[in-house]
Amino acid sequence: MIKRLTAGAVMVATLTMAGLSTASAATSKGWELPAMSVPAAHAISDGKGVTVAIIDTGIRTDHPALKGRAKEGPDFLQEEDQSESWYGEHGTSMASSILDVAPQAKVLGLRVIRDRDDPNYQTSHEALHQGSMDGDRPFAQAITYAVDHGADVISMSLGSDSAWDAYQQDEAEAIEYALSKGVVLLAGAGNEGDIEQGEENIVAYPAAYPGVISVAASVPGGSRAPFSSVHSYVDIAAPGVAIHSADADSGGRKPVHGTSSACALAAGVSALIVSKYPDLPPRQVAQVLKETASHASRGYSVETGYGVINAYAAIQAAGDLTPEKPVAIGEAGAGVHFGPGDDGTPQMVSYGLDPEYFAISAVGAFVGLLAVFGGFWLVKSGRRLQGEGSGDTVPGGPAAYPQYDQPPMSAQHNPYGQPIQPQQNPYRQQPAPPHGQWPPQQ
Protein backbone atom coordinates (compact mmCIF):
# COMPACT_ATOMS: atom_id res chain seq x y z
CA MET A 1 0.00 0.00 0.00
CA ILE A 2 1.17 3.54 -0.63
CA LYS A 3 0.55 6.63 1.39
CA ARG A 4 0.59 10.36 0.98
CA LEU A 5 3.99 11.78 1.90
CA THR A 6 2.78 14.30 4.46
CA ALA A 7 4.31 14.13 7.92
CA GLY A 8 2.41 15.32 10.97
CA ALA A 9 0.20 18.00 9.44
CA VAL A 10 -0.54 20.91 11.77
CA MET A 11 -4.30 21.46 11.81
CA VAL A 12 -4.28 25.24 12.10
CA ALA A 13 -5.97 27.04 9.24
CA THR A 14 -4.22 30.06 7.79
CA LEU A 15 -6.53 32.04 5.53
CA THR A 16 -5.33 33.75 2.39
CA MET A 17 -4.88 37.44 3.02
CA ALA A 18 -7.46 39.65 1.32
CA GLY A 19 -6.20 41.54 -1.67
CA LEU A 20 -3.14 39.32 -2.22
CA SER A 21 -2.57 36.80 -4.97
CA THR A 22 -2.16 33.17 -4.04
CA ALA A 23 1.59 33.29 -4.56
CA SER A 24 1.97 36.54 -2.60
CA ALA A 25 -0.09 35.20 0.27
CA ALA A 26 2.03 32.09 0.47
CA THR A 27 5.19 34.21 0.46
CA SER A 28 3.87 36.42 3.26
CA LYS A 29 2.87 33.43 5.38
CA GLY A 30 5.87 31.17 4.92
CA TRP A 31 9.55 31.00 4.09
CA GLU A 32 9.34 28.42 1.34
CA LEU A 33 9.16 30.62 -1.78
CA PRO A 34 11.95 33.09 -0.90
CA ALA A 35 14.10 30.12 0.15
CA MET A 36 13.94 28.85 -3.42
CA SER A 37 14.31 32.30 -5.04
CA VAL A 38 10.85 31.99 -6.55
CA PRO A 39 9.96 35.72 -6.42
CA ALA A 40 13.05 36.50 -8.50
CA ALA A 41 12.24 33.66 -10.89
CA HIS A 42 8.79 35.11 -11.54
CA ALA A 43 10.44 37.97 -13.38
CA ILE A 44 11.49 35.38 -15.99
CA SER A 45 8.75 32.74 -15.92
CA ASP A 46 5.36 32.27 -14.30
CA GLY A 47 4.52 28.80 -15.62
CA LYS A 48 2.22 29.94 -18.41
CA GLY A 49 1.32 27.24 -20.92
CA VAL A 50 2.38 24.33 -18.68
CA THR A 51 0.13 21.57 -17.31
CA VAL A 52 1.19 19.78 -14.14
CA ALA A 53 -0.53 16.45 -13.49
CA ILE A 54 -0.95 15.66 -9.79
CA ILE A 55 -1.16 11.90 -9.20
CA ASP A 56 -2.62 11.85 -5.72
CA THR A 57 -5.99 11.73 -3.92
CA GLY A 58 -7.81 13.97 -6.40
CA ILE A 59 -8.29 17.73 -6.10
CA ARG A 60 -11.08 20.14 -5.16
CA THR A 61 -11.21 22.46 -8.14
CA ASP A 62 -13.47 24.94 -6.33
CA HIS A 63 -10.90 25.83 -3.68
CA PRO A 64 -9.95 29.55 -3.89
CA ALA A 65 -6.28 28.65 -4.28
CA LEU A 66 -7.04 26.56 -7.36
CA LYS A 67 -10.11 28.15 -8.91
CA GLY A 68 -9.80 28.67 -12.65
CA ARG A 69 -6.49 26.85 -12.84
CA ALA A 70 -7.45 23.26 -11.99
CA LYS A 71 -9.18 20.36 -13.68
CA GLU A 72 -10.12 17.01 -12.19
CA GLY A 73 -9.39 14.00 -14.37
CA PRO A 74 -10.53 10.38 -14.03
CA ASP A 75 -10.71 8.62 -10.70
CA PHE A 76 -8.53 5.56 -11.22
CA LEU A 77 -10.00 4.00 -8.09
CA GLN A 78 -13.30 3.96 -10.02
CA GLU A 79 -15.27 5.53 -7.17
CA GLU A 80 -18.00 8.17 -7.22
CA ASP A 81 -17.31 10.15 -4.07
CA GLN A 82 -16.12 13.53 -5.34
CA SER A 83 -18.94 15.21 -3.42
CA GLU A 84 -17.74 13.85 -0.07
CA SER A 85 -16.27 16.39 2.35
CA TRP A 86 -13.00 14.48 2.69
CA TYR A 87 -12.39 14.07 -1.03
CA GLY A 88 -9.15 15.47 -2.42
CA GLU A 89 -7.70 16.80 0.84
CA HIS A 90 -4.10 15.88 0.17
CA GLY A 91 -4.19 16.44 -3.59
CA THR A 92 -5.69 19.91 -3.17
CA SER A 93 -2.96 20.84 -0.72
CA MET A 94 -0.29 19.75 -3.20
CA ALA A 95 -1.97 21.54 -6.11
CA SER A 96 -1.90 24.84 -4.25
CA SER A 97 1.84 24.55 -3.56
CA ILE A 98 2.50 23.93 -7.24
CA LEU A 99 0.43 26.96 -8.22
CA ASP A 100 2.08 29.13 -5.56
CA VAL A 101 5.36 28.58 -7.42
CA ALA A 102 3.95 28.55 -10.97
CA PRO A 103 0.86 30.82 -10.74
CA GLN A 104 0.02 30.71 -14.46
CA ALA A 105 0.29 26.95 -14.82
CA LYS A 106 -2.66 24.56 -14.97
CA VAL A 107 -3.05 21.50 -12.77
CA LEU A 108 -4.72 18.20 -13.59
CA GLY A 109 -5.82 16.00 -10.70
CA LEU A 110 -5.68 12.20 -11.07
CA ARG A 111 -6.82 10.07 -8.16
CA VAL A 112 -4.96 6.83 -7.40
CA ILE A 113 -4.96 6.76 -3.56
CA ARG A 114 -7.37 7.60 -0.74
CA ASP A 115 -7.34 10.43 1.75
CA ARG A 116 -6.90 9.55 5.41
CA ASP A 117 -10.48 10.60 6.22
CA ASP A 118 -11.89 8.31 3.53
CA PRO A 119 -13.93 5.61 5.34
CA ASN A 120 -12.22 3.00 3.15
CA TYR A 121 -8.71 4.31 3.82
CA GLN A 122 -7.68 1.59 6.27
CA THR A 123 -9.01 -1.27 4.18
CA SER A 124 -8.21 0.11 0.74
CA HIS A 125 -6.23 -2.15 -1.59
CA GLU A 126 -6.49 0.11 -4.62
CA ALA A 127 -3.21 1.83 -3.84
CA LEU A 128 -0.07 2.07 -5.90
CA HIS A 129 0.64 -1.58 -6.67
CA GLN A 130 -2.92 -2.97 -6.69
CA GLY A 131 -4.21 -4.24 -10.02
CA SER A 132 -7.61 -3.27 -11.43
CA MET A 133 -10.13 -5.35 -13.36
CA ASP A 134 -8.19 -5.12 -16.61
CA GLY A 135 -4.88 -6.00 -14.98
CA ASP A 136 -3.33 -2.51 -15.10
CA ARG A 137 -2.44 -0.72 -11.89
CA PRO A 138 -4.06 2.66 -11.22
CA PHE A 139 -0.68 4.35 -10.80
CA ALA A 140 0.65 3.18 -14.18
CA GLN A 141 -2.69 4.05 -15.79
CA ALA A 142 -2.59 7.57 -14.37
CA ILE A 143 0.91 8.27 -15.67
CA THR A 144 -0.03 7.15 -19.17
CA TYR A 145 -3.24 9.17 -19.06
CA ALA A 146 -1.38 12.29 -17.93
CA VAL A 147 1.12 12.01 -20.77
CA ASP A 148 -1.60 11.43 -23.37
CA HIS A 149 -3.64 14.40 -22.10
CA GLY A 150 -1.02 17.11 -22.30
CA ALA A 151 0.89 16.97 -19.02
CA ASP A 152 4.33 18.59 -19.17
CA VAL A 153 5.24 17.80 -15.55
CA ILE A 154 3.97 14.99 -13.29
CA SER A 155 4.05 15.53 -9.53
CA MET A 156 3.83 12.42 -7.32
CA SER A 157 3.59 13.27 -3.62
CA LEU A 158 3.05 9.67 -2.64
CA GLY A 159 5.09 6.58 -1.99
CA SER A 160 5.16 2.99 -0.81
CA ASP A 161 5.02 2.54 2.95
CA SER A 162 6.16 -1.08 3.11
CA ALA A 163 9.39 -2.88 2.39
CA TRP A 164 7.34 -5.35 0.35
CA ASP A 165 6.14 -2.75 -2.17
CA ALA A 166 8.46 -3.83 -4.96
CA TYR A 167 9.59 -2.52 -8.29
CA GLN A 168 6.77 -3.08 -10.80
CA GLN A 169 7.52 -3.45 -14.48
CA ASP A 170 4.33 -1.78 -15.74
CA GLU A 171 4.96 1.26 -13.56
CA ALA A 172 8.57 1.52 -14.73
CA GLU A 173 7.40 1.25 -18.33
CA ALA A 174 4.82 4.01 -17.80
CA ILE A 175 7.59 6.24 -16.44
CA GLU A 176 9.80 5.38 -19.41
CA TYR A 177 6.92 6.30 -21.74
CA ALA A 178 6.55 9.67 -20.02
CA LEU A 179 10.28 10.37 -20.29
CA SER A 180 10.30 9.45 -23.97
CA LYS A 181 7.59 12.08 -24.51
CA GLY A 182 9.60 14.74 -22.69
CA VAL A 183 7.52 14.80 -19.50
CA VAL A 184 9.32 15.67 -16.25
CA LEU A 185 8.47 13.42 -13.29
CA LEU A 186 9.09 14.20 -9.62
CA ALA A 187 8.34 12.26 -6.43
CA GLY A 188 8.77 12.77 -2.71
CA ALA A 189 11.70 10.84 -1.24
CA GLY A 190 9.63 9.51 1.68
CA ASN A 191 8.92 10.33 5.33
CA GLU A 192 10.61 7.34 6.96
CA GLY A 193 13.98 8.90 7.82
CA ASP A 194 13.61 9.49 11.55
CA ILE A 195 15.11 6.20 12.73
CA GLU A 196 15.36 7.48 16.31
CA GLN A 197 11.55 7.49 16.33
CA GLY A 198 11.37 3.95 15.00
CA GLU A 199 10.98 4.74 11.31
CA GLU A 200 12.62 2.27 8.94
CA ASN A 201 13.93 4.48 6.14
CA ILE A 202 12.44 2.13 3.55
CA VAL A 203 13.16 2.25 -0.15
CA ALA A 204 10.13 4.05 -1.54
CA TYR A 205 8.59 4.00 -4.98
CA PRO A 206 8.00 5.94 -7.23
CA ALA A 207 10.95 8.01 -5.93
CA ALA A 208 13.31 5.08 -6.54
CA TYR A 209 12.24 4.46 -10.13
CA PRO A 210 14.81 5.35 -12.79
CA GLY A 211 14.21 8.74 -14.35
CA VAL A 212 12.15 10.20 -11.49
CA ILE A 213 13.54 13.31 -9.79
CA SER A 214 13.50 12.41 -6.09
CA VAL A 215 12.90 15.31 -3.69
CA ALA A 216 13.91 15.39 -0.02
CA ALA A 217 12.38 17.79 2.53
CA SER A 218 14.49 20.55 4.05
CA VAL A 219 14.12 22.88 7.02
CA PRO A 220 15.00 26.60 7.15
CA GLY A 221 18.73 26.76 6.63
CA GLY A 222 18.70 23.94 4.08
CA SER A 223 19.43 20.87 6.17
CA ARG A 224 17.32 17.71 6.01
CA ALA A 225 14.01 17.61 7.84
CA PRO A 226 14.26 14.81 10.44
CA PHE A 227 11.50 12.75 8.82
CA SER A 228 12.90 12.95 5.27
CA SER A 229 14.15 9.55 4.07
CA VAL A 230 17.85 9.10 3.36
CA HIS A 231 18.77 7.21 0.20
CA SER A 232 21.17 7.48 -2.69
CA TYR A 233 18.29 8.09 -5.09
CA VAL A 234 17.65 11.54 -3.53
CA ASP A 235 18.43 14.16 -6.18
CA ILE A 236 17.44 17.53 -4.70
CA ALA A 237 15.67 19.08 -1.72
CA ALA A 238 12.92 21.65 -1.25
CA PRO A 239 11.25 23.17 1.83
CA GLY A 240 9.08 20.61 3.60
CA VAL A 241 8.21 22.09 7.00
CA ALA A 242 5.33 24.48 7.78
CA ILE A 243 4.31 24.84 4.15
CA HIS A 244 1.12 26.91 4.01
CA SER A 245 -1.04 25.09 1.52
CA ALA A 246 -4.72 24.80 0.67
CA ASP A 247 -7.03 23.30 3.30
CA ALA A 248 -9.93 21.60 1.52
CA ASP A 249 -12.05 21.66 4.69
CA SER A 250 -11.93 25.36 5.51
CA GLY A 251 -11.33 26.82 2.08
CA GLY A 252 -8.28 28.56 3.52
CA ARG A 253 -4.77 27.36 4.24
CA LYS A 254 -2.91 25.45 6.93
CA PRO A 255 0.75 24.56 7.55
CA VAL A 256 1.74 21.00 6.64
CA HIS A 257 4.97 19.03 6.69
CA GLY A 258 6.39 16.30 4.50
CA THR A 259 8.27 15.36 1.38
CA SER A 260 4.85 15.66 -0.28
CA SER A 261 5.09 19.43 -0.05
CA ALA A 262 8.75 19.42 -1.06
CA CYS A 263 7.86 17.47 -4.20
CA ALA A 264 5.00 19.84 -5.06
CA LEU A 265 7.19 22.93 -4.68
CA ALA A 266 9.91 21.35 -6.83
CA ALA A 267 7.29 20.45 -9.43
CA GLY A 268 6.30 24.10 -9.50
CA VAL A 269 9.90 25.12 -10.15
CA SER A 270 10.11 22.52 -12.91
CA ALA A 271 6.99 24.07 -14.45
CA LEU A 272 8.72 27.48 -14.47
CA ILE A 273 11.69 25.97 -16.35
CA VAL A 274 9.54 24.07 -18.85
CA SER A 275 7.39 27.15 -19.46
CA LYS A 276 10.42 29.21 -20.42
CA TYR A 277 12.30 26.43 -22.23
CA PRO A 278 9.71 23.89 -23.44
CA ASP A 279 12.19 21.96 -25.57
CA LEU A 280 14.39 20.89 -22.66
CA PRO A 281 13.99 17.14 -22.01
CA PRO A 282 13.57 15.78 -18.47
CA ARG A 283 17.25 14.94 -18.03
CA GLN A 284 18.29 18.52 -18.67
CA VAL A 285 15.62 19.89 -16.34
CA ALA A 286 17.01 17.59 -13.67
CA GLN A 287 20.52 18.72 -14.57
CA VAL A 288 19.88 22.42 -13.99
CA LEU A 289 17.95 21.76 -10.78
CA LYS A 290 20.93 19.84 -9.39
CA GLU A 291 23.74 22.01 -10.70
CA THR A 292 22.21 25.20 -9.23
CA ALA A 293 21.09 23.72 -5.90
CA SER A 294 22.41 25.04 -2.60
CA HIS A 295 25.41 22.78 -2.04
CA ALA A 296 26.11 21.60 -5.58
CA SER A 297 29.61 23.06 -5.41
CA ARG A 298 30.36 21.01 -2.28
CA GLY A 299 29.07 17.78 -3.76
CA TYR A 300 26.37 15.24 -3.19
CA SER A 301 24.66 14.27 0.06
CA VAL A 302 22.41 11.25 0.56
CA GLU A 303 20.29 13.42 2.85
CA THR A 304 19.46 16.31 0.53
CA GLY A 305 20.97 15.36 -2.83
CA TYR A 306 22.64 18.46 -4.28
CA GLY A 307 20.73 20.74 -1.91
CA VAL A 308 17.73 23.05 -1.91
CA ILE A 309 16.72 24.08 -5.40
CA ASN A 310 17.06 27.66 -6.60
CA ALA A 311 14.36 28.55 -9.12
CA TYR A 312 16.00 31.73 -10.39
CA ALA A 313 19.45 30.17 -10.86
CA ALA A 314 17.97 27.06 -12.49
CA ILE A 315 16.04 29.06 -15.08
CA GLN A 316 19.14 31.10 -15.88
CA ALA A 317 21.23 27.95 -16.26
CA ALA A 318 18.58 26.38 -18.48
CA GLY A 319 19.04 29.22 -20.94
CA ASP A 320 22.63 28.12 -21.56
CA LEU A 321 21.68 24.59 -22.64
CA THR A 322 21.10 23.24 -26.12
CA PRO A 323 18.03 20.99 -25.92
CA GLU A 324 18.68 17.29 -26.37
CA LYS A 325 16.32 14.70 -27.79
CA PRO A 326 14.14 13.05 -25.11
CA VAL A 327 14.88 9.35 -24.68
CA ALA A 328 13.33 6.64 -22.56
CA ILE A 329 15.25 4.85 -19.85
CA GLY A 330 16.70 1.66 -21.27
CA GLU A 331 17.09 2.94 -24.83
CA ALA A 332 20.48 3.34 -26.43
CA GLY A 333 22.20 6.37 -24.92
CA ALA A 334 20.01 6.47 -21.82
CA GLY A 335 21.09 5.74 -18.27
CA VAL A 336 19.16 4.29 -15.37
CA HIS A 337 18.84 7.36 -13.18
CA PHE A 338 19.43 11.09 -13.19
CA GLY A 339 21.20 11.12 -9.84
CA PRO A 340 23.57 8.83 -7.95
CA GLY A 341 25.30 6.21 -10.04
CA ASP A 342 25.36 8.40 -13.13
CA ASP A 343 27.65 11.01 -11.59
CA GLY A 344 29.99 9.00 -9.39
CA THR A 345 28.02 9.11 -6.14
CA PRO A 346 27.44 5.89 -4.16
CA GLN A 347 24.81 3.44 -5.31
CA MET A 348 23.88 2.48 -1.74
CA VAL A 349 24.41 4.11 1.65
CA SER A 350 23.45 2.41 4.91
CA TYR A 351 21.21 4.42 7.20
CA GLY A 352 19.56 2.65 10.07
CA LEU A 353 17.75 -0.65 9.51
CA ASP A 354 17.02 -1.23 5.85
CA PRO A 355 14.02 -3.58 5.69
CA GLU A 356 15.07 -5.35 2.52
CA TYR A 357 18.32 -6.49 4.14
CA PHE A 358 16.42 -7.48 7.24
CA ALA A 359 14.09 -9.57 5.07
CA ILE A 360 16.99 -11.21 3.25
CA SER A 361 18.70 -11.96 6.55
CA ALA A 362 15.49 -13.44 7.94
CA VAL A 363 15.12 -15.73 4.93
CA GLY A 364 18.76 -16.72 5.22
CA ALA A 365 18.37 -17.49 8.91
CA PHE A 366 15.31 -19.60 8.19
CA VAL A 367 17.18 -21.56 5.51
CA GLY A 368 20.07 -22.01 7.92
CA LEU A 369 17.78 -23.37 10.60
CA LEU A 370 16.29 -25.79 8.09
CA ALA A 371 19.80 -26.93 7.20
CA VAL A 372 20.68 -27.45 10.85
CA PHE A 373 17.57 -29.45 11.61
CA GLY A 374 17.88 -31.35 8.35
CA GLY A 375 21.47 -32.22 9.11
CA PHE A 376 20.57 -33.31 12.62
CA TRP A 377 17.86 -35.56 11.20
CA LEU A 378 20.29 -37.06 8.70
CA VAL A 379 22.82 -37.78 11.44
CA LYS A 380 20.17 -39.48 13.57
CA SER A 381 18.95 -41.44 10.56
CA GLY A 382 22.47 -42.51 9.69
CA ARG A 383 23.15 -43.71 13.19
CA ARG A 384 19.89 -45.60 13.23
CA LEU A 385 20.75 -47.27 9.92
CA GLN A 386 24.19 -48.18 11.22
CA GLY A 387 22.61 -49.64 14.35
CA GLU A 388 20.41 -51.77 12.12
CA GLY A 389 23.41 -53.23 10.31
CA SER A 390 23.33 -51.13 7.17
CA GLY A 391 26.64 -50.74 5.41
CA ASP A 392 25.72 -47.29 4.05
CA THR A 393 26.61 -44.16 5.97
CA VAL A 394 24.69 -40.92 5.68
CA PRO A 395 26.76 -37.75 6.25
CA GLY A 396 25.30 -35.44 8.83
CA GLY A 397 25.87 -31.95 10.24
CA PRO A 398 24.77 -28.46 9.30
CA ALA A 399 25.48 -27.09 5.86
CA ALA A 400 28.02 -24.30 5.70
CA TYR A 401 26.45 -20.90 5.10
CA PRO A 402 28.46 -18.58 2.85
CA GLN A 403 30.24 -15.74 4.60
CA TYR A 404 30.45 -12.26 3.14
CA ASP A 405 33.80 -10.56 3.61
CA GLN A 406 32.58 -7.07 2.79
CA PRO A 407 30.96 -5.28 5.77
CA PRO A 408 27.95 -3.07 5.17
CA MET A 409 28.76 0.46 4.09
CA SER A 410 28.49 2.85 7.01
CA ALA A 411 26.64 6.15 6.85
CA GLN A 412 28.67 8.95 5.35
CA HIS A 413 30.32 11.13 7.97
CA ASN A 414 31.06 13.72 5.35
CA PRO A 415 27.91 13.88 3.21
CA TYR A 416 29.54 16.30 0.79
CA GLY A 417 32.50 14.10 0.05
CA GLN A 418 31.53 13.41 -3.55
CA PRO A 419 32.23 16.30 -5.95
CA ILE A 420 30.03 16.82 -8.96
CA GLN A 421 31.51 15.01 -11.93
CA PRO A 422 31.54 16.60 -15.38
CA GLN A 423 28.61 15.16 -17.25
CA GLN A 424 30.36 14.14 -20.45
CA ASN A 425 27.98 11.25 -20.95
CA PRO A 426 25.15 11.67 -18.44
CA TYR A 427 23.22 8.75 -19.91
CA ARG A 428 25.61 5.92 -19.27
CA GLN A 429 23.90 2.67 -20.03
CA GLN A 430 23.35 0.32 -17.13
CA PRO A 431 21.42 -2.95 -17.19
CA ALA A 432 17.74 -2.63 -16.39
CA PRO A 433 16.61 -4.60 -13.31
CA PRO A 434 14.78 -7.85 -13.97
CA HIS A 435 11.04 -7.96 -13.40
CA GLY A 436 10.20 -8.05 -9.74
CA GLN A 437 13.68 -7.16 -8.45
CA TRP A 438 13.57 -5.05 -5.30
CA PRO A 439 15.10 -2.52 -5.26
CA PRO A 440 16.21 -1.88 -8.86
CA GLN A 441 19.45 -0.08 -7.98
CA GLN A 442 19.29 1.41 -4.60
| pLDDT for position 372 | 55
SS3 state of residue 118: coil
Strands of 23-149 (E only): list them. 51-56, 70-75, 106-111
DSSP states along 155-214: EE-EEE-STT----HHHHHHHHHHHHTT-EEEEE--S---GGGT------TTTTSTT-EE
Q: What is the pLDDT of residue 354?
A: 45
Is the peptide bond prior to 206 cis by the omega test (within 30 degrees of 0)? yes
pLDDT at 100: 97
Cβ(440)–Cβ(301) below 8 Å: no
pLDDT of residue 363: 57
Residues annotated as catalytic (active site), given as ranges: 56, 90, 260
Question: Does the pTM exceed 0.95?
Answer: no
Cis status, amide bond into 439, omega within 30 of 0: yes
Distance CA(33)–CA(261), nearest Å, equals: 12
Q: CA neighbours within 13 Å on the CB side: how many for 347?
A: 8
Q: Are strands 51-56 and 153-156 parallel, antiparallel or unpaired?
A: parallel
Mean pLDDT by runs of 10 across the 442 residues of the chain is 55 24 40 92 98 96 95 91 82 97 98 83 48 66 97 94 72 91 96 89 89 96 96 96 94 95 98 97 95 96 96 98 75 44 39 47 57 55 41 31 31 39 38 39 38
What is the per-residue pLDDT for 168? Answer: 82
